[in-house]
Every structure is written in C-alpha cells, then in structure tokens.
C-alpha cells in the first residue's frame, strides 16, 4: 500500500512539472506580442496629429498673401503713362541755346504724339547733373537726350537704359575740337599751358572730358576754366576774346559728291573745306563753302556752324587747333522702369521722324532735331551698353568719380 501511494505521488509530481514547463513559454510569448503591439500604435497617433497642424498653418499663410495683393491693386490709381494727366517727360541737356532746344523739342513732341498717340512734356534742366537727377528721380516716365558721358553716369547711378545713339551724316561717332583765334599765335596743344579755357560744361563729354584727358596725357595744365553754358557760347567766348581757347564738338565736313568719298578721321584735315574758294555761307540754317556738296562744295558741320548766325565771320577769325579721339554719339535713353513696349514704339517713331523730310529739310526758320542749330541728328541707330565702354575706361583712367564730374 505504501508503495502504491509513493508511485502515485511521483506520478502527480511529474505531471505538475510538465504542466509548469509547458505554461512558462506561452506566457512569455504573449507578453512580448502585447508589448510590440502597443509600441506600434503610439507613433502612428502622433504622426497623424502633426500632419493636421502643418496643414492648418500653411492654409493661413496663403490666405494672408492673397489678401495683401488685392489691397495693393485696389489702392493703385494712376493715369496711364502718356495720357494728358500723366505725360511722358522728355529731357534735353543744355548743350546749345535753351530757346532753340525748347522750340525743336516741342516740335519733336508733336510729331511723336501724332505717331504714337502719347502726350509728351519737354523740359531743359539747368545742367547735365540736373538732367541725370531728374531721370533717376522719375525712372518710370522719363526720356533723356543725353551724351555718352551723361548716359554712363545715369546708367551707373540708377540703371538708365540706352535706346538709340545719334547718327550724324552716316557716323555714330564725333570728336572734340580745340578752337583758337586765327591771330592768337597758338600753334600746338603745348602752347595752351596756363591759357584760359572756355568749356560748355565741366560735365560735357566733348566739351571737357575728352579734351581734359588729352591735355593731361600731354602734361599740359591750362589756366582758368570758364563754364560758358553751351558749345556755341564757348566758341563765342573765343571769338569775343574773353578766353584763349575753347573746346566743343566736331563733326566732319561733307565733301563734294564728285569726290565719291567721305572725310576720313586721322587722314584728312579737319578744315579740308578751306581748299574751296570763298568764305563759308549760312543758307537756311546750314553752312556751305563753294556751294552744296552736290554742286561741288562742302558742308561744314562742326560746332561753329551754330555760332555763325551771331558771328557771321566766325570761320574767318577762328581755327581748329586739334581734335581728340573719336567719341560715341549722344543718346536717347529711358528711365530704368520705363515700360519696354512704349519705349520701342517711341524709338520707332523717332527713327521715322529723323529720316523724314520734315526733320532733315524743315521750312525756313523752323528748328528740328536734325538742324545744325539743335542736335544735328540725321539718323538713329540701336546700340548696346557696351558701346560706351570707351567712355567708362576714360573716366577710370582719369581717376574721376561722379562727384568730380558733376561737381556734387
């Protein structure tokens, strides 16, 4: 009996051990599964919440931008550029007589309005500096007829853009001339040391900048410099004996048609026309020697032609001492914010007008942009900003700053 109980007890103990061993792995596996399930659920809920927050923030930002844009458009209330209430401003530098510029400029404005339908307002600021200042102060509605130096300064200061460069009798360049009285005894540039000098303006490309560089290169230091207020006035200062020499623009003469060629820079004498018989004569605002080029004569185009009405013997009493290097012609330029489409319309209309008989052959007493008394344009050619790099180089070589040139 005791043995049977012992066997039964051992059997029960064995079964209990088996049950305990079998249950232990199952409990561990269940615990691990539950732990992994909980770990997965928590980050999923957090990512959903973050996505919702970002979406709401972006929506609010877009709404604010749209609202501000609408408000700006509602507040804008400006008359169209070129209308009577918002005319296009046309500025001319005072390089010749202001009354002549105003007269010819207003005629130009009328012609451009007829061609484009835009209204223009002509003005002549008191100086080159004032012209540049006006274009920079009003970049969206200004056009400036400014020389190469003025363009370079305006471009660097406030981004003024060139439209066309002037063409005078087929040439996109001109030069500066040194004028002295024929009886002065001055025979070379070296003789100008210490002499009084009349210039149109100290901001004039041909009237001061290029001649100044040439004298500096030669080591010639002139005496007193007198600002005459224009090319014609500078020449008249020499004519009247107020100064020893003057500088002004030079355009080469037109040669007799029978010669079949044009005047050549660096080869022909600046006053080649003196070979003709007789003195220069002013005919309908133009100056000829020995008749027109078609008649075997010469047409004189340097700055003295504009002074002949005041001083009929200007060519007999003065002479050209020397010329400077070639200079890019003056420009018609636009404010940095001037609408491109309108600028192109105006350039096309301007080119057509300059090439017309109305500009090239005006009635007696009528002054146009093509007249010798005004700017003497006979055409307009598209040019790039790089065309004016020689002027930039000259400014750099002289060590000039804008303040030096404009006197600010």
Strand partners, 248: 177
Query: Which range among 34-43, 244-253, 337-346, 383-392 shows the weakest confidence by mean pLDDT?
Result: 34-43
CATH architecture classification, 88-170+329-406: 3-Layer(aba) Sandwich (3.40)
pLDDT in tens, 65-113: 444 444 444 445 679 999 999 999 999 988 788 888 999 999 999 999 9
pLDDT in tens, 165-205: 999 878 888 899 999 999 999 999 999 999 999 999 987 88
DSSP-assigned letter for residue 258: G
Residue 338 scores a pLDDT above 70: yes
**Rg, Å, the chain Cα set:** 41
Topology alike, domains 88-170+329-406 and 173-328? yes
Tokens representing 278? Answer: 């007789």
pLDDT in tens, 216-266: 989 999 999 999 999 999 999 999 999 999 999 999 999 999 999 999 999
Q: How far apart are CA 244 and CA 322, in angstroms?
A: 14
381 — alpha (psi -120 to 50), left (phi > 0) or beta?
Answer: beta
Tokens representing 260? Answer: 């079949």
Q: How far is CA 161 from the centre of its chain?
A: 3
CATH 3.40.50.1820 fits 173-328, yes or no: no
pLDDT band at 407 (very low <50, low <70, confident <90, very high): low
Residue ranges covered by each domain of the chain: 25-77, 88-170+329-406, 173-328
pLDDT of residue 299: 95
């Amino acid at each position: 009996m005791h043995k049977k109980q012992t066997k039964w007890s051992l059997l029960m103990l064995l079964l209990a051990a088996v049950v305990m061993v079998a249950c232990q792995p199952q409990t561990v596996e269940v615990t691990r599964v539950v732990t992994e399930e909980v770990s997965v659920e928590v980050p999923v809920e957090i990512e959903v919440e973050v996505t919702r927050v970002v979406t709401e923030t972006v929506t609010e930002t877009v709404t604010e931008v749209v609202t501000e844009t609408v408000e700006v458009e509602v507040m804008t209330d400006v008359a169209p550029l070129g209308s009577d209430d918002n005319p296009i401003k046309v500025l001319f530098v005072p390089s010749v007589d202001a009354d002549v510029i105003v007269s010819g400029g207003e005629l130009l404005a009328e012609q451009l309005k007829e061609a484009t339908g835009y209204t223009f307002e002509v003005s002549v600021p008191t100086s080159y500096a004032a012209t540049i200042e006006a274009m920079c102060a009003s970049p969206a509605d200004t056009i400036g007829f400014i020389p190469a130096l003025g363009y370079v300064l305006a471009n660097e200061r406030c981004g003024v853009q060139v439209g066309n460069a002037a063409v005078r009798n087929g040439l996109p360049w001109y030069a500066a001339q040194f004028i002295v009285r024929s009886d002065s005894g001055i025979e070379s540039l070296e003789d100008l040391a210490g002499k009084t000098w009349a210039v149109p303006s100290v901001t004039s490309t041909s009237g001061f900048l290029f001649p100044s560089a040439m004298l500096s290169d030669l080591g010639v230091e002139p005496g007193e410099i007198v600002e005459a207020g224009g090319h014609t006035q500078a020449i008249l200062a020499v004519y009247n004996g107020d100064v020893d020499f003057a500088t002004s623009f030079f355009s080469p003469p037109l040669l007799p048609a029978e010669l079949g060629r044009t005047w050549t820079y660096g080869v022909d004498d600046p006053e080649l026309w003196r070979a003709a018989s007789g003195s220069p004569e002013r005919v309908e605002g133009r100056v000829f020697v020995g008749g027109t080029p078609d008649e075997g004569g010469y047409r004189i185009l340097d700055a003295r032609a504009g002074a002949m009405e005041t001083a009929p013997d200007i060519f007999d009493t003065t002479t050209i001492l020397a010329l400077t290097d070639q200079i890019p012609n003056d420009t018609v330029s636009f404010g940095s914010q001037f609408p491109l489409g309108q600028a192109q319309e105006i350039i096309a209309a301007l080119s057509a007008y300059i090439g017309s008989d109305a500009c090239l052959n005006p009635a007696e007493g009528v002054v146009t942009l093509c007249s010798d008394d005004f700017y003497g344009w006979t055409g307009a050619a598209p040019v790039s900003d790089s065309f004016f790099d020689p002027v930039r180089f000259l400014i750099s070589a002289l060590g000039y700053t804008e303040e030096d040139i404009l006197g600010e």
